Amino acid sequence: MATALAAQLSEKVRSASIRRDPFAHIVIEDIFPSDFYAELRSRLPIDEFYRRFKDSGRVTDTYSPHRWAFAPAQLDQLSGEARAFWAYLFEDVTSNEFTAAIVDKFGADLKFGETDGDVRIATETCLMRDQTGYELGPHTDSPAKLVSLLFYLAPDDTHPELGTSLYLPRDRGFFCPGGPHHPFEWFDLVETVPYRPNSMMAFAKSERSFHGVEPVADTSLHRDLLFVDLRRV
């Protein structure tokens, strides 16, 4: 049975308008109830509980060493109340109800590829912490990806530049099935979705869904995110 939070998140997604420039995405402010978001911020794990994402086996050796992850499999590291809080949230953002709302929202934008029957979708989640030095060249994500959701867990709205950037290739005919990260100079920056507290962006994977993270020189900054990925299996 879906929880009240999963139902609220699902309704937020259903009510959002799809933006088409430069590819299908949505942006939602105040995605969580304000009191829940305040508790979320207070319960973010300390740095010692995160593991370098590059060592997860999910990315190549060339991936940035400045991204750290905290996955559901690590919940046993936390104390009782913190463990229960994150278990509850991880379950809600991977629930059948929330997944169905995302799939319904993007509809025809989703590329399932060839299939012999019903499409099976896996939903994965983790917390990410990007440290100074992290950057991500424009890319379109893995070919198996259907939708990416990024919940911004900012403490305040003073550094909107830490958001995810959306790009168009300067060669407008260029596309990429997914995998490699490309040089920034090959692209025009269309928009950086601002890194603001309690906001979320989601986009449908396509061969033209070029996105990335612009380089940030300020050594005092990091950004916290909750990732949710829908993949075809």
Domain residue spans in the chain?
A: 9-232
Residue type, 32: F
Pairing of strands 199-204, 51-52: unpaired
Q: What is the mean pLDDT of residues 43-71?
A: 80
Other beta carbons within 10 angstroms of residue 60's beta carbon come to 9
Tokens of 203: 């986009």
Position 122 scores a pLDDT of 94
Annotate 172-193 with DSSP letters as a single string: TT----S-----GGGEEEEEE-
| pLDDT band, very low/low/confident/very high, at 116 (cuts 50, 70, 90) | very low
Position 30 scores a pLDDT of 98
Tokens of 92: 């809600």
Higher per-residue confidence, 216 vs 15 = 15
> What is the fold of 9-232?
Jelly Rolls (2.60.120)
The rounded distance, in Å, linking the Cα atoms of 226 and 86 is: 11
Nearest to 30 by CA among 228, 198, 201: 198
Model pTM score = 0.92
- Phi, psi values for residue 26, rounded to 5°: -130, 155
